[in-house]
Amino acid sequence: MTRDAQQAPAVIDTSKPSVARVYDCFLGGKDNYEVDRQVFQQVDDVAPQMKQLARDHRNWLVRVTRFLAGEAGIDQFIDCGAGLPTAENTHQAAQRMNPEVRVVYVDNDPVVAAHGRALLEENDRTHLVMADLTKPDEVFDDPTVTRYVDLDRPIALIQCSTIHHVSDAEKPREIMQRYIERLPSGSYLALTHFYDPQDGSEASKLARFVEDIFANGPMGSGYFRSHGEIESFFGGLEMVEPGIARLNDWWPDGPLLSARTAEDEVLIGGVARKP
């Protein structure tokens, strides 16, 4: 049975916050409920700059997508943790560089299927699959993925703000290693993750505060890890310069015009290539 989003109606639990809907709050979206806004408000009251960080993250993904579909010449993407549609989505950024790019979004959140399908599947080169991103073989072997993605040619695998919702007990390093094993030679991995500098700084204190709200609260996930732990998720792939960096330091569109804040330090990302 295919897990394509059109196969079954979505059942949305509005009594528990959803990762996708909480992120929607940070982006100023409207596809969220009171339970999601409560989680958002807890963070926003103490760290209002997290809203800007969410926007910086979206801008980072757009820059990375332009690089992958342009200079890197990648024409097929698997974007895990699709989330809710926003102003600029992966397929839109990629298809502006190359209209022939195929994008398969992967998510297991019914709210994404309910709210996102119309936009995510706005053309015949963009598709949405409901699958568990902690099971790489389930993702790669899904009938929709195998139909629209040539697994013998280079792929761009997007893992943005996904693995930090995977607990240590679920073995995130092993999950990412399996993804990397399944990627064809010449593929790229783009990954972002919550970061704790673990140095007693304001950024580290903020990381611990937000993790307590996300992971120990009703949402139940959102873990801040060390640089070394995050680096391990790339599995020794060849990093694209400047490596794992603050989002605004990864090939920015222009100079940074505002002072850095603690919020700028707690989300980092990078892009790497499989030889």
pLDDT (tens digit per residue) in 4-23: 444 444 567 777 888 878 88
Alpha-carbon distance of 104 to 141, in angstroms, equals 13
The whole-number pLDDT of residue 88 equals: 81
The whole-number pLDDT of residue 263 equals: 86
106-155 pLDDT, tens per residue? Answer: 998 877 777 666 666 678 899 999 999 999 999 999 999 999 999 999 99
Tell me the average pLDDT of the chain.
Answer: 89
The whole-number pLDDT of residue 163 equals: 98
Mean predicted confidence (pLDDT) in 169-193? 98
Tokens of 97: 């560089």
Which residue, among 10, 84, 23, has the nearest Cα to 219 in the 3D structure? 23
Question: Model-level pTM?
Answer: 0.90
For residue 195, is pLDDT > 80? Answer: yes
The whole-number pLDDT of residue 6 equals: 45
Least confident of 7-16, 87-96, 255-264: 7-16
Look up residue 5 and give its DSSP letter: G
Alpha-carbon distance of 229 to 40, in angstroms, equals 26
Mean predicted confidence (pLDDT) in 233-256? 93
For residue 1, is pLDDT > 70? Answer: no
Tokens of 247: 């989002």
Contact 178, 204 (CB under 8 A): no
Task: Look at 245 and 45; give whichever has higher pLDDT.
Answer: 245
What are the structural domains, with CATH classification, of the chain? Answer: 26-273 (3.40.50.150)
Three-state DSSP state, 26:
helix
The whole-number pLDDT of residue 7 equals: 46
Which residue, among 191, 75, 174, 173, has the nearest Cα to 126 in the 3D structure? 75
For residue 3, is pLDDT > 50? Answer: no
28-86 pLDDT, tens per residue? Answer: 888 788 988 998 898 888 878 788 888 899 999 999 999 999 999 999 999 998 877 77
Give residue 209's pLDDT band: very low, low, confident or very high (50, 70, 90).
very high
> For a pLDDT cut of 70, what percent of the chain falls above it?
93
